[in-house]
């Protein structure tokens, strides 16, 4: 029996649901361990994971909207909801970083107890789980070419980073003893800076997609190559590709024999369109403009 091809949006939603479930468990684990273990870095880590849950829920909603079919008001579909979700996730990541950093600065100057040793074991488990989640979600994000899912993956990586920073800070505080309690808070502050930096890097792809930036040159070149393989196409003058959620839309200007009938030109355009739609590149629709072949124009473009 042949394997069933799962739509990218379905993969994205499944991945998001798994991430939400695991993150909810870790929020409670970190919060209880941080409270009873006297570690603000661990409490800050729990807060960052809580932001993960909230942002992943927003991603889930965004993907549900992106899956909606085209309608008269949205003839190109609702795919833009996917990059919007990635931007919102990045903004929440920035907010979490600022919140963690602000409270870390406050606690650096506030005397408190040394963290408990058991918090280190909790963090080792958290780091392993979050790093595995990062790799899994990122792999899915790359497979389906989703900036929102990739952004969600880096939420898991940022969680692992805060946990590593907390582990280092707690280790220093426990090893050095009295007077080094603030090492735990300094770790949270360093983690917040790293998280904020990652959030800035993540917001760019979503903004580019919203602005209809061209996808990778590899995708465009594949479209050009496939269109040029139709023997009736004398010259491919223009090739524009844009991403809409999980799908691509292409606009082509192709030149054909100027003596052909309108019907024949229409047939050729459908040959090109069908070839692209069946290419496996995720192309949802193709708009083709037919022009008469002009050798002089072709030579000027070489």
- pLDDT of amino acid 215: 73
Q: Mean pLDDT throughout 138-149?
A: 80
Check residue 128 and give its pLDDT.
Answer: 92
pLDDT of 2 strictly over 70: no
Residue range 161-181, pLDDT digits in tens: 778 877 888 888 888 877 776
Structure confidence by residue, pLDDT tens digits, 270-297: 999 999 988 888 888 899 999 898 775 5
Between CA 26 and CA 112 the distance in angstroms is 24
Strands 283-292 and 247-256 come out as parallel
Q: Is 106 exposed, middle or buried (0-12, 13-18, 19+ CB in 10 A)?
A: exposed
Digit-coded pLDDT (tens) for 63-122: 778 777 777 887 777 777 877 877 887 887 788 788 878 877 877 777 667 778 888 898
For the chain, the domains span 8-210, 217-301
What does the pLDDT average to over 141-145?
Answer: 79
Contacts of 200 (CB under 8 A, 6+ apart): 90, 94
pTM of the model: 0.64
CATH of domain 8-210: 1.20.1510.10
Q: Which of 101, 110, 99, 92 is nearest to 191 (CA)?
A: 101
| CATH, range 217-301 | 3.30.70.1350
Give yes or no for a contact between 209 and 147, defined as CB atoms under 8 angstroms apart.
yes
What is the full DSSP assignment across the chain? -PPP---HHHHHHHHHHHHHHHHHHHHHHHHHHHHHTT-HHHHHHHHHHHHHHHHHHHHHHHHHHHTSPPBTTBTT-STTHHHHHHHHHHHHHHHHHHHHHHHHHHHHTS--PPPPTHHHHHHHHHHHHHHHHHHHHHHHHHHHT-HHHHHHHHHHHHHHHHHHHHHHHHHHHHHH-TT-TTHHHHHHHHHHHHHHHHHHHHHHHHHHHHTT----HHHHHHHHHHHHTSTT--EEEEEEEEEETTEEEEEEEEEE-TTS-HHHHHHHHHHHHHHHHTSSS-EEEEEEEEEE--HHHHHHH-
Q: In the sheet where 235-244 sits, what is the strand order?
A: 235-244, 247-256, 283-292
Check if the beta carbon of residue 188 is closer than 8 Å to that of residue 100: yes
- Residue 302 and residue 210: Cα distance in Å, rounded? 32
Intrachain domains 8-210 and 217-301 with the same fold: no
User: 300 Cβ partners below 8 Å, 6+ apart?
Assistant: none
């Amino acid at each position: 029996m042949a394997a069933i091809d799962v739509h990218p949006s379905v993969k994205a939603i499944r991945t998001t649901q798994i991430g939400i479930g695991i993150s909810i468990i870790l929020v409670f684990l970190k919060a209880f361990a941080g409270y009873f273990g006297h570690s603000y870095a661990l409490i800050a880590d729990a807060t960052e994971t809580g932001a993960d849950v909230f942002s992943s829920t927003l991603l889930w909603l965004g993907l549900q909207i992106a899956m909606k079919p085209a309608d008269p008001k949205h003839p190109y579909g609702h795919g833009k909801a996917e990059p919007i979700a990635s931007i919102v996730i990045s903004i929440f990541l920035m907010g979490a970083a600022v919140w963690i950093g602000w409270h870390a600065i406050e606690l650096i100057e506030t005397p408190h107890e040394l963290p408990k040793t058991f918090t280190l074991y909790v963090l080792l488990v958290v780091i392993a789980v979050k790093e595995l989640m990062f790799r899994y979600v990122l792999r899915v994000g790359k497979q389906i070419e989703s900036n929102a899912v990739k952004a969600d993956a880096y939420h898991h990586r940022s969680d692992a980073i805060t946990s590593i920073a907390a582990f280092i800070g707690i280790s220093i505080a426990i090893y050095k003893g009295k007077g080094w309690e603030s090492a735990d808070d300094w770790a949270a502050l360093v983690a917040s800076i790293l998280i904020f930096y990652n959030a800035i890097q993540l917001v760019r792809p979503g903004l580019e997609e919203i602005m209809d930036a061209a996808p990778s040159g590899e995708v465009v070149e594949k479209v050009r190559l496939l269109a040029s393989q139709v023997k009736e196409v004398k010259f491919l003058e223009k090739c524009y590709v844009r991403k809409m959620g999980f799908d691509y839309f292409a606009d082509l200007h192709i030149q054909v024999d100027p003596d052909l009938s309108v019907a024949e030109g229409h047939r050729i355009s459908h040959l090109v369109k069908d070839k692209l739609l069946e290419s496996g590149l995720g192309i949802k629709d193709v708009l083709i403009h037919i022009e008469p072949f002009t050798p002089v124009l072709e030579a000027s473009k070489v």
